[in-house]
Structure 1
């Protein structure tokens, strides 16, 4: 009886699998692979397989960061409770959720951010920032409509940049946090977001600006 030859089913080569292999090599060796050729050879794929998904190692790094924020946004934005929140609660929820996501990949995140100093932005954060800007602007615009965020000439156009700088502060704080379960980072998030809303909400700053305007007008008389 003729034997039927068994054919091996080739496993699908996906972007996620390539990114995971890249991440693992970096964390194991402590450095970026010498070349795309050596990387592909080490994980048993061709360069053609690699380039179907990524143009470079840099592109892999961008995708890892972008996937982190996109998956976080998708998870919270489909939650009915989140949609009912005001701007302050949405930002708190997003920050807490994103830090939780970063915890699952902390070793790689620390490797990526090693030696990074603000205000320079690493190339791998470009896609991440684009998604962040989309999210924060939607939250702030809704906050302006509800009255939770004050509309101020010139100043309110910079709110998104201020929150980006704010998140970069949180990210840096988290990388140096040595407290159990990063409890200090949670406290930093809550306190700094509350402070931010004291500044961009209607209240203290508006009164200060109004008083400054009053002093300026009366100084001319």
Structure 2
């Protein structure tokens, strides 16, 4: 049988995801992976230098798919920063849900250490860059170094918030992940309220929700 000639990055991602979900482990080697899928080993290295690099690209691809959907929405273009981020979250978690088996495979063992997981590095870079484009209203500190520090703090806080949401979603057993939707709404609104220095009502409401749900999960 002739080898496949047109192997794109998306093809390799799909083949890899299918392999690990079928075998519950990484392929033994690129040679074996390419042979099993009937393409030349060289084709793999045209896109990735290792399976680890491929894994990093998967979560970045989830981000890219989400961003592409949002950019096609006229409503999204008219939203303020808060509603753009809410739209991102809801769309991103639809993408994750469509790929939940792979996400659980990739993250389950390390879900308590998501912040340092290398497979999420591509997602972090894309997401924090996205946050920087939202034009989130912040305090006018009138000092360049402080402004940069504030910007960096917001990006890092947003990243941690996303990781917390991923972990909550992984643990969520509610129908259609309804509790994750509530978590998203409350956490995003709370973060913006804190930035805007508005009353702490939403923070208290969010805290009550977290306590209630985590207590139930640990019972």
TM-score range with shorter-chain normalisation? 0.7 to 0.9
Report whether the alignment pairs 1:162 with 2:157.
yes
CA contact (8 A) 2:5 2:39 kept: no
Instruction: Indicate the residue corresponding to 2:89 in structure 1.
Output: 95
So what's the TM-score if we normalise by structure 2? 0.81
Residues 66-116 of structure 1, C-alpha deviations (whole Å, 9 max, x = no match) = 111012112212322112111111111110000001111110001110221
**Bigger proportion of residues as helix:** 2
Q: CA deviation at 1:25?
A: 0.9
Q: Distance in 1 between matches of 2:83 and 2:129?
A: 17
Q: CA deviation at 1:11?
A: 5.3
Task: Trace 1:41-120 onto structure 2 (pairs within 5 A).
Answer: 41-116=35-110, 117-118=112-113, 120=115
Residues 145-166 of structure 1, C-alpha deviations (whole Å, 9 max, x = no match) = xxxx444557733111111111
Structure 2 portions without partners, runs of 5+? 201-219
Q: Distance in 2 between matches of 1:166 and 1:10?
A: 42
Report whether the alignment pairs 1:12 with 2:6.
yes
1:203 to 166, 179, 198: 198
Q: Distance in 1 between matches of 2:51 and 2:102?
A: 14
CA contact (8 A) 2:71 2:77 kept: yes
Instruction: Indicate the residue corresponding to 1:130 in structure 2.
Output: 125
Instruction: Indicate the residue corresponding to 2:184 in structure 1.
Output: 189
Q: Let me know the Cα RMSD of the aligned residues.
A: 2.0
Q: Distance in 2 between matches of 1:201 and 1:118?
A: 30
- State how many pairs are aligned: 192
Distance change (3 Å), C-alpha of 1:58 and 1:177: same
SS at structure 1 position matched to 2:64:
helix
Instruction: Indicate the residue corresponding to 1:143 in structure 2.
Output: 136
So what's the TM-score if we normalise by structure 1? 0.80
CA contact (8 A) 1:150 1:202 kept: no
Q: CA deviation at 1:201?
A: 0.9
Structure 1 portions without partners, runs of 5+? 1-7, 206-221
Q: CA deviation at 1:44?
A: 1.2
Instruction: Indicate the residue corresponding to 1:178 in structure 2.
Output: 173
CA contact (8 A) 2:3 2:38 kept: no
CA contact (8 A) 1:174 1:185 kept: yes
